[in-house]
Amino acid sequence: MTQSNNRKLTIARAMAESVAQEMRTDDRVFVMGEDIGELGGVYGNTRGLLEEFGKERIRDTPISETAFIGAAVGAAQDGMRPVVELMFVDFFGVCFDAIYNLMAKNIYFSGGSLKVPMVLMTSTGGGYSDGGQHSQCLYGTFAHLPGMKVVAPSNAYDAKGLMTAAIRDDSPVVFMYHKRLQGMGWLGTEPGATVKTPEESYTVEIGKAAIARKGSDVTIVSLGLGVHHALKAAEKLSEEGVEAEVVDLRSLVPLDRDTIRESVARTGRLIVVDEDYHSFGVSGEIIASVTEHDISVLKAAPRRVAFPDVPIPFERGMEQFCLPNADKIIAAYREIEAG
Amino acid sequence: MQPSLEQKLWMYETMVLSRRCEEQIAKIYMEGKTPVFNMANGTIPGEMHLSDGQEPVAVGVCAHLDAEDIVTATHRPHHQAIAKGVDLDRMMAEIFGKATGLSGGRGGHMHLFDPAVNFACSGIIGQGLGPAVGAALSRKMQGKPGVAVAFIGEGATNQGAFHEALNLAAVWNVPFVCVVEDNAWGISVSKAASTSVPRNDVRAASYGIPGHYVEGNDPYRIHEVAGEAIARARAGKGPSLIEVETFRLAGHFMGDAEGYRPEGEKDALFEIDPIPRMRQRLLDDGDASDEQLSNIEKKAEERIEQAIRFARESDEPRPEDALTAVFAQA
Ligand SMILES: Cc1ncc(C[n+]2csc(CCOP(=O)(O)OP(=O)(O)O)c2C)c(N)n1
């Protein structure tokens, strides 16, 4: 057990471990989704669960998202604690009613007399040429609509703790995991997401951001894969004496505005990095959270590095042209410097 | 009714063309992905869903279609696209992500659009059904000829869109045919584990339309059943549902280890590969000579090589072109 604290896990394994630990102690927890049983999830995040818990509690579903996500809501309201998977967030199109009009609203409609303890886990992100229906993030879309908590971890430690917190939460939680952080070599993976992860069960509080790197000259706010771009940009900026602070949001709903404001108040400069579309989304919300609170803390106009408002192109060069990266973050800092 | 000799030879040629296409793509897909397999890398990045084994469905149906007829296809679209007459050079260039591709590299292999032959496909399961019904409605409203065919996989029959679209097509009596390619698997989930009925043709009864099940991945039978359904639609007698027993000889996508398949299942499928079977049948029935068929095969190979040459030699799009073509051109 002394080994435990030195053990590194991928996000995929951290998610599966969290679910398994909760399933061992709570009979109400079960898993539904496409290819989550025998296959262990296309992104590996349910691997080993079928073998341990069997078909009754690890349920491969038909390709019927409206039915099984709606069913998760019904089961959650009836005393179960389902963990349900939407294979790619892009597929929300076929089943969003079950998510935002049902899962997200029934607690409110019942005046708080109902609980909807369920987790909707879903994969996000591009960068591996999967085209415009398999590469989106849609963070802003989910976070915009009231009634569901939304988390998006950047590393395995947070993924495990957030998943455990999500399963134990009596409100619906959307758990958005980035495909390029899963530790699946077959679509390319960011090594920085595979970190030391305790074996014992623990939670990471939903609604609390983390300072991924301390700095005093500029605040870079991001989530998921963007945190790793931000950390890389920060390292490069550091070589020229600029110390960037990196805020890892971890949760979008609730949004930890205090941590963002406190950081920007110290640095006076703000860059938001978001792989989701530029307009009407997370990046605008972060900037508004700062400016509407106290615009005087800013020494320069805030900048955002986000995906342009176009569908995600297939071809590598075009997709990379659109995606955030460390160089674009550094360029945004240069613009801030230039005033 | 058996297909005409001309139709038979077209079907064989198109099946071979499709197979050579998939074989070449499979090979080229691995360029840049060894020794470490990473989907993001190589000449053809991204997901790749190949149609090996399912060719009889595409040719049996499309033998009855002209350019003016509409086809919506799936995430596994190459056989359907080739059978519908999609521009092969530009299709290949799109798969490679080249500027000369059908969408200039914006779409990729799951998003092939060729308006000249009314072909489109999509990566969302069941998404093509609505647009096919709508195109059929449009022809009816405009008094123009044409039928619309939506190809889907058997996994899509459990999607709401399937049931909604069939009802809509039936209640509005539009010239529409839904063709289900039953390859028994939706990624790792078997039809038996996911579908409440063994065969989807019975579901046609829910919408008051004819339903057919075609066994044996048999191009001639498919041709016959599809011919009747399409003729019926053309005559204004309304939609039909056809499910065809087929199989995929490829993985769900390139890189799929297929551990979910029972031991031996895959090997048995190669034994009944529809292409050598059709070849033998053409010979046995005296429909073609060995030499004739070899010529067809050689021609198909050359045609695919030409498409690949075109794709390889084409320029990449300019990265900033990602920002164009979002809205309709003036
Ligand atoms: C709405 C939706 N849900 C899930 C998926 C993921 N997915 C892609 S292919 C596939 C299996 C499809 O099975 P089937 O329709 O039988 O076609 P096949 O792949 O066997 O050709 C799944 C689940 C998707 N693309 N769209």
Give yes or no for residue A60 CB within 6 A of ligand 1: no
Q: Which pLDDT value is given to residue A187?
A: 87
Q: What distances in angstroms separate CA A265 from CA A7, A221, A299, one per listed residue?
A: 37, 13, 10
Name the minimum distance, in Å, from the CA of A314 to any CA of chain B: 5
Kindly state the DSSP code that residue B324 receives in the 8-state scheme.
S
Mind spelling out the 3-state secondary structure of B168-188? HHHHCCCCEEEEEEECCEECC
Does the pLDDT at position B304 exceed 80? yes
Chain B window 279-318: which residues touch A at a Cβ cutoff of 8 Å?
316-318
pLDDT digits (tens, 9 = 90+) for A40-69: 999 999 999 999 999 999 999 999 999 999
Q: Which pLDDT value is given to residue A106?
A: 98
Q: What is the pTM of this model?
A: 0.97
Q: Is the peptide bond preceding residue B198 cis, with omega within 30 degrees of 0?
A: no
Spacing, Cα B161 to ligand 1 middle (Å): 13
At residue A185 the predicted structure's pLDDT band, cuts being 50, 70 and 90, is confident
Mean pLDDT of all residues in A224-244:
98
Does the pLDDT at position A1 exceed 50? no
Mean pLDDT of all residues in B301-316:
98
* A88 DSSP β-pair partners: A123
Mean pLDDT of all residues in A97-113:
98
Q: What are the b/e assignments for A279-310, b being 16+ CB within 10 Å?
A: eebbbbbbbebbbeeeeebbeeebbbbbbeeb
Q: Which pLDDT value is given to residue A339?
A: 81
Half-sphere exposure of B69 (CA within 13 A, CB side): 22
Contact A64 B155 (CB under 8 A): no
Mean pLDDT of all residues in B37-46:
96
At residue A188 the predicted structure's pLDDT band, cuts being 50, 70 and 90, is confident
Name the minimum distance, in Å, from the CA of B107 to any CA of chain A: 5
Give yes or no for residue B73 CB within 6 A of ligand 1: no
Q: Which pLDDT value is given to residue B147?
A: 98
Give me the helices (H) in chain B, please. 5-29, 55-62, 78-84, 88-96, 129-142, 160-171, 191-194, 219-234, 265-271, 274-284, 290-313
Residue of B nearest to A89 (CA): B124
Spacing, Cα B232 to ligand 1 middle (Å): 29
pLDDT digits (tens, 9 = 90+) for B246-288: 999 999 999 999 999 999 999 999 999 999 999 999 999 999 9
Amino acid at the residue B17: L
Count of CB pairs separated by less than 8 Å, A with B: 148
Q: Which pLDDT value is given to residue A2?
A: 45
Contact A128 B322 (CB under 8 A): no
Residue A50 has phi, psi (to 5 degrees) of: -60, -45
Chain B window 150-179: which residues touch A at a Cβ cutoff of 8 Å?
155-156, 158-161
Asked if the C-beta of B263 comes within 8 angstroms of chain A's C-beta atoms, the answer is: no
Ligand 1 pocket test, pick from A60, A63, A86, A92 with the greatest ligand atom count within 8 Å of Cβ, gives A63
- Closest C-alpha to A71, from A39, A103, A112: A103
Mean pLDDT of all residues in B86-107:
98
Does the pLDDT at position B330 exceed 90? no
Active site members of A:
65, 134
Q: Quickly name the fold that domain B5-29+38-311 has.
A: Rossmann fold (3.40.50)
The residues, any chain, with a CB within 8 Å of residue B85's CB and separated by 6 or more, are B62, B67, B117, B119
Spacing, Cα B188 to ligand 1 middle (Å): 10
Low-confidence winner among A211-215, A315-319, B34-38, B185-189 (lowest mean pLDDT): B34-38
Residue of A nearest to B99 (CA): A315
Q: Are A176 and A139 in contact (CB under 8 A)?
A: yes
- Closest C-alpha to A10, from A182, A176, A158: A182
Q: What distances in angstroms separate CA A207 from CA A12, A90, A173, A211, A254, one per listed residue?
A: 22, 24, 11, 13, 5
Mean pLDDT of all residues in A236-264:
98
What's the Rg (C-alpha) of chain A?
19
Contact A63 B111 (CB under 8 A): no
From the list B188, B319, B323, the residue facing A35 with the nearest CB is B188
At residue B129 the predicted structure's pLDDT band, cuts being 50, 70 and 90, is very high
Amino acid at the residue A57: R
Q: Domains of chain A, with CATH numbers?
A: 3-196 (3.40.50.970), 210-338 (3.40.50.920)
The residues, any chain, with a CB within 8 Å of residue A257's CB and separated by 6 or more, are A289, A293
The residues, any chain, with a CB within 8 Å of residue B162's CB and separated by 6 or more, are B126, B129, B152, B156, B178
pLDDT digits (tens, 9 = 90+) for B152-209: 999 999 999 999 999 999 999 999 999 999 999 999 999 999 999 999 999 999 999 9
Mean pLDDT of all residues in B211-231:
98
Would you say how long chain A is, in residues?
A: 339
Percent over 70 (pLDDT), chain A: 99
Contact B316 A185 (CB under 8 A): no
Q: How far is CA B64 from the centre of its chain?
A: 15
Q: Based on the number of CB atoms within 10 Å of its own CB, is B212 exposed (0-12), middle (13-18) or buried (19 or more)?
A: buried
Percent over 90 (pLDDT), chain B: 99
Whose Cα sits closest to atom 17 in ligand 1?
A: B153
Give yes or no for residue B189 CB within 6 A of ligand 1: no
Token representation of residue A270: 């703000």
Q: Based on the number of CB atoms within 10 Å of its own CB, is B167 exposed (0-12), middle (13-18) or buried (19 or more)?
A: middle
Spacing, Cα B186 to ligand 1 middle (Å): 6
CB atoms within 10 A of CB A242: 18
Mind spelling out the 3-state secondary structure of chain A? CHHHHHCEECHHHHHHHHHHHHHHHCCCEEEEECCCCCCCCCCCCCCCHHHHHCCCCEEECCCCHHHHHHHHHHHHHCCCEEEEEEEEHHHHHHCHHHHHHHHCCHHHHCCCCCCCCCEEEEEECCCCCCCCCCCCCCHHHHHHCCCCEEECCCCHHHHHHHHHHHHHCCCCEEEEEEHHHCCCHHHCCCHHHCEECCCCCCCCCCCCCEEEECCCCEEEEECCHHHHHHHHHHHHHHHCCCCEEEEECCEEECCCHHHHHHHHHHHCCEEEEEEEECCCCHHHHHHHHHHHHHHHHCCCCCEEEEECCCCCCCCHHHHHHHCCCHHHHHHHHHHHHHC
Spacing, Cα A224 to ligand 1 middle (Å): 26
Residues of A in contact with B110 (CB under 8 A): 131, 133-134
Give yes or no for residue B154 CB within 6 A of ligand 1: yes
Whose Cα sits closest to atom 25 in ligand 1?
A: B124
Domain ranges of chain B: 5-29+38-311
Percent over 70 (pLDDT), chain B: 100
Q: How far is CA B51 from the centre of its chain?
A: 7
Q: Which pLDDT value is given to residue B17?
A: 98
Mean pLDDT computed over every residue of chain A: 97
Q: Are B74 and B121 in contact (CB under 8 A)?
A: yes
